[in-house]
């Protein structure tokens, strides 16, 4: 467990070097499917806990999360996504560390995993144009 924490902290330090003071932000996009017996309400409750916890834990806060469902296109029942926004790479990395090393973060992550399988994710840099 210590080696994971040390590697995560090293990642945070390295990413902090690359953080610039500009209006860009970072978006994590996850593709998920509800697990059998779970509802979107289960997802909403767990995701709301995640947002509150991360904003209280990560210095500077400013982290948001949206749950997305298809309006046009693939409308497979139970398929949804998360779009999480972070003000910097440093804050994104800090959420990973909090999920791995703080008991409340670990518990919330487990609750999210109990509600849905998220099989795909990407981190994007979002630039205003």
Range of the domain at 99: 2-126
**What confidence tens digit (pLDDT) does each residue in 73-114 have?**
988 889 999 999 999 999 999 999 999 999 999 999 999 999
The CB-side HSE value for 122 (13 A sphere, CA atoms) comes to: 4
Q: What angle do CA 96, 79, 68 make, to 5 degrees?
A: 65
Sign of CA dihedral 90, 125, 120, 35: positive
Give 36-67 pLDDT, tens digit per residue.
999 999 999 999 999 999 999 999 999 999 99
Share of the chain above pLDDT 90, in %: 74
Mean pLDDT of the chain: 86
CATH at 108 = 3.30.70.100
Model pLDDT, residue 86: 97
Strand residues in the chain grouped as ranges (E):
25-34, 64-68, 79-86, 116-126
Token output for 31: 């593709």
The predicted structure's pLDDT at residue 23: 54
109, 51 contact by CB (below 8 A): no
The reported pTM is 0.79
Residue carrying structure tokens 């902290």: 9
Closest by Cα among 32, 2, 8 to 96: 8
Domain count, the chain: 1
Torsions phi, psi for 30 (to 5 deg): -120, 140
């Amino acid at each position: 467990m210590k080696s994971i924490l040390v590697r995560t902290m090293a990642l945070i330090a390295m990413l902090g070097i690359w953080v610039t003071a500009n209006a860009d932000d970072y978006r994590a996009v996850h593709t998920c499917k509800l697990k059998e017996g779970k509802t979107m309400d289960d997802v909403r409750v767990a995701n709301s806990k995640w947002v509150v916890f991360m904003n209280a834990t990560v210095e500077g806060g400013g982290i948001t999360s949206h749950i997305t469902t298809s309006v046009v296109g693939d409308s497979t029942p139970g398929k949804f996504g998360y779009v999480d926004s972070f003000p910097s790479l440093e804050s994104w990395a800090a959420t990973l560390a909090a999920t791995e090393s703080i008991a409340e973060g670990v518990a919330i992550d487990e609750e999210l995993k109990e509600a849905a399988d998220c099989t795909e994710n990407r981190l994007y840099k979002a630039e205003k144009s």
